[in-house]
Structure 1
Amino acid sequence: MTHQNSPRLSRRAFTLSALTGLTVTAACGNGVGSNGANQIDARVNATLNEMYSVYPNTVSLSEKASGMLVMPLVTEAGFWLGGAYGRGALRVNGVTLDYYSTAKASAGLQIGAQQYAHVLFFMTEDALSDFRRSSGWAAGGDIEYVVRDQGDSVAADTTTLRSPVLAAVFGRAGLRIGATLEGTKYTRIIP
């Protein structure tokens, strides 16, 4: 069934829009594409409830963290060139302080699309301050994962807890080869 008023989106158009940061949410059906703070907060709450129930080790991490960046839904797709986009909130002591978007562009062997949630745990005040002061913070290869992209939970030991930033990636839908948070950029937004 086709609608006369709905434009067809080719792979090339999707990839170009993902790379330039234009309307990826509309193209992929990413429900986080709302500009309303209330809607983002509701999705953040639902994401945290899911994470805590499925991965109980994250409860103690959240209690020890100085702050958490919660990205309820990130849509990522690629066919040689790829991109990802999502929106979320920074929470400190259970209160939303700021809203952020995440974007990522990549090239190389990657085929497919996926949707997932992720949470960054800032384990030190310095890591949280660095994140908040930056005009565009990028995730590096030094992030330790407490929930891997395959969805298995990793025990948080004393070595992991010394890392300034920990990540939980979960709730994946779809299939894409070569997914990682490395190179993902986070920018403060006004919803």
Structure 2
Amino acid sequence: MFNTDMTRRGLVLGAAALALGACNNGIGSNGAAQIDARVEATQNFLFQRYPGTQDLASRASGVLYMPLITEAGFGIGGSYGRGALRIQGVTVDYYSATKGTIGFQIGAQQYAHALFFMTPEALEEFRRSSGWAASGEIRYATPDQGASIGKETTELDPVIALVFGQQGLIAGATLGGVKYTRIIP
């Protein structure tokens, strides 16, 4: 007979994959040059729109810029994006960010984020790992908070994540995690 649970699951996974594919995320594109151009534009936008982030970046040991993350979900969801790690303003590596979620959710959105590695040890741990998973050790903030993040905050938090430029709508409550993996574009 026909298993309706498997059919629904396949439909949901297929729809999520199609939604992610439909959003122009640069997959299969010009590689490093396109990522670098997007990272440069994202950094400029962040510094111009939220001037305090420029000071934050100058104090960071390194910054991972993810210019475009595309996320979609309907029960089961996921997201993907590519970006670059910059140390003293120079790109040193490229990374992908992959996220899987499960729970009550529906919708799609795109956004950018930046991870500020505030200690050399946090940056080294990130670069040394074969796949680094974001966890509770990261302090998440909005750019408005980033404009006023003080010295005492950055001394306590080894990694600060700023999420900005959200477009689209996704709603719900989910469990999930983000994994960053070094790539060769």
Shorter-chain TM band: 0.7 to 0.9
Match of residue 86, structure 1, among 68, 71, 81: 81
Root-mean-square deviation (CA, aligned residues, Å) is 2.2
TM-score normalized with structure 2 length: 0.85
CA change 1:38–1:24 in 2 (3 A) is farther
Amino acid at match of 1:156: I
Query: Would you say the 8 A contact 1:98–1:188 is kept in 2?
Result: yes
> Where does residue 14 of structure 2 map in the other structure?
13
Cα distance, 1:141 vs. partner? 2.1
Cα distance, 1:11 vs. partner? 4.9
TM-score normalized with structure 1 length: 0.82
Number of matched residues? 172
- Please tell me whether residue 31 in structure 1 is matched to residue 32 in structure 2: no
Give the 4+ runs in structure 1 shifted more than 6 A: none
Q: Which moved more, 1:155-164 or 1:110-119?
A: 155-164
Cα distance, 1:110 vs. partner? 1.2
CA distance in 2 between counterparts of 1:101 and 1:161 reads: 25
> Where does residue 108 of structure 1 map in the other structure?
103
Q: Which has the higher strand share?
A: 2
CA change 1:188–1:160 in 2 (3 A) is same
5+ long unaligned stretches in structure 2: 1-10
- Please tell me whether residue 165 in structure 1 is matched to residue 155 in structure 2: no
> Where does residue 141 of structure 1 map in the other structure?
136
Tell me which structure has the larger Cα radius of gyration. Answer: 2
5+ long unaligned stretches in structure 1: 1-9, 18-22
Amino acid at match of 1:189: I
Q: Deviations over 1:67-90 (max 9, x none)?
A: 010000000010010000000001
CA distance in 2 between counterparts of 1:172 and 1:130 reads: 28
CA distance in 2 between counterparts of 1:152 and 1:179 reads: 24
Query: Would you say the 8 A contact 1:99–1:188 is kept in 2?
Result: yes
